[in-house]
Homo-oligomer: A and B are copies of this chain.
Amino acid sequence: MKKDVSTEQKIKDAARKVFMTKGFSGCTTREIAKSVGINVALLNYYFRSKGKLFELILEAALSDFVDSMVEVFKQDLPLESKTRMLIDKEFEFLRKHPELPLFIHAGLNQESDAELDQSNFLGRLHKTGIFEECEKAQEEGSMRKVNMINVTLLFMSNCHFPIMSKKLICGIYQIDNQEHEARLNEHQEIVKEMLINYLFPNTNKHA
């Protein structure tokens, strides 16, 4: 019964890779099975259907995202340092999984129901105490008074979009991967400074 890696896990890994790059309806069960080296029927033996398998992968992807955020929020650091760290971690994480943001957004649109809070993402974030921490800082006046949803939007916009827009940017500006990487590295610093200046306006700027 024991293998190096269980068949079930091998299928999940392959499915993740294929779904990520091609989307749910952009690939076939046979394509996934082939990339694992197994029969199509085995897919439905372990998971009941293509759709069920996809839901699993999507949920896991979302979870990965929240995990990387939680990890930073839990750190015992001043808010401003956490902000820098969050941005750095996000860029680092997304450089390793550049297809993830697009996959998640496209995936959520595919599933009309989108039972997104089964995994209780909001609860996991709350447990880190980050919301109270921001609230306190906002009352103290060290942090700008902005709704936390808007704060989230600011972070995600400026971290996720630069990664997911690679093809568009390279296409419009006619640049290659190397140049794009350079722009991305610079952007990471730009975003850090811009967001910190905006959210913590009273801090001395190092300029």
Interface residues of A (CB under 8 A from B): 21, 23-26, 99, 102, 104-106, 108-110, 114, 116-117, 121-122, 146-147, 149-150, 152-154, 156-158, 160-162, 164-165, 167-169, 171-175, 183, 186-187, 190, 193-195, 197-198
Return the chain B residue nearest A186 by Cβ: B150
Q: Which of A106, A149, A195 has the most CB of B within 10 A?
A: A149
This protein's copies in its complex: 2
Q: Which of A160, A171, A195 has the most CB of B within 10 A?
A: A171
Return the chain B residue nearest A115 by Cβ: B171
- Which of B21, B147, B175, B198 is A183 in contact with, Cβ under 8 Å? B147
In the bound complex, do residue A165 and residue B105 qualify as a contact, i.e. CB atoms below 8 Å apart?
yes
Give Cα A146 to B189, complex, Å. Answer: 11
In the bound complex, do residue B102 and residue A106 qualify as a contact, i.e. CB atoms below 8 Å apart?
yes
In the bound complex, do residue B149 and residue A116 qualify as a contact, i.e. CB atoms below 8 Å apart?
no
Q: Given the interface contacts A156-B161, A162-B153, A190-B150, does A117 sit within 8 Å of B168 by beta carbon?
A: no
- Which of B104, B117, B194 is A174 in contact with, Cβ under 8 Å? B117
A-B contact pairs, 29 of them (CB 8 A): A23-B26, A25-B25, A102-B105, A102-B109, A104-B168, A105-B167, A105-B168, A108-B167, A116-B167, A116-B172, A146-B190, A147-B183, A149-B169, A149-B173, A150-B187, A152-B169, A152-B172, A153-B161, A153-B187, A154-B158, A154-B194, A156-B165, A157-B161, A157-B165, A158-B158, A160-B161, A194-B198, A197-B197, A197-B198
Give Cα A157 to B121, complex, Å. Answer: 23
Q: Which of A26, A109, A110 has the most CB of B within 10 A?
A: A109
A67: shortest Cβ distance to chain B, in Å?
14
User: Which chain B residues lie closer than 8 Å to A150 at the CB level?
Assistant: 183, 186-187, 190
